[in-house]
């Protein structure tokens, strides 16, 4: 009698402690680099004149959201 496919056990792949620590450290490094890159982009955009921001379709209040990749509702906040 064969076992159903749901009863087949797959071996758990275990990683060594140094490999786990190294991958955790690499993940922290990537997050830290991404954080500082975003902060630099925000600082650069904050330095721009308002008319320059308008040319690229942003208002000052939208800078952080734009850098973080949050979709902006372009038409709602537009001044006329």
Q: Does a structural domain hold residue 34? A: yes
Q: Does a structural domain hold residue 50? A: yes
Q: Does a structural domain hold residue 57? A: yes
Under the banding of pLDDT at 50, 70 and 90, the label for residue 68 is very high
pTM score of the predicted model: 0.65
The string of pLDDT tens digits covering residues 15-59 is: 888 889 999 999 999 999 999 999 999 999 999 999 999 999 999
Angle at 29 between CA 40 and CA 14, to 5 degrees: 155
Domain that holds residue 58: 17-80
Q: Does a structural domain hold residue 8? A: no
One-character DSSP codes across 10-67: PPP----HHHHHHHHHHHHHHHHHHHHHHHHHHHHHHHS-HHHHHHTT--GGGHHHHH
Q: Does a structural domain hold residue 2? A: no
What gap in Å lies between CA 31 and CA 71, rounded to an integer?
21
What gap in Å lies between CA 45 and CA 59, rounded to an integer?
10
């Amino acid at each position: 009698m064969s076992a159903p496919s749901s009863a087949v056990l797959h071996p758990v792949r275990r990683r060594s402690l140094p490999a786990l620590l190294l991958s955790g450290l690499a993940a922290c490094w990537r997050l830290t680099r991404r954080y500082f890159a975003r902060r630099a982009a925000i600082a650069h955009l904050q330095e721009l004149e308002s008319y320059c921001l308008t040319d690229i379709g942003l208002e000052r209040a939208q800078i952080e959201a734009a850098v973080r990749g949050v979709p902006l509702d372009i038409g709602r906040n537009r001044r006329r």
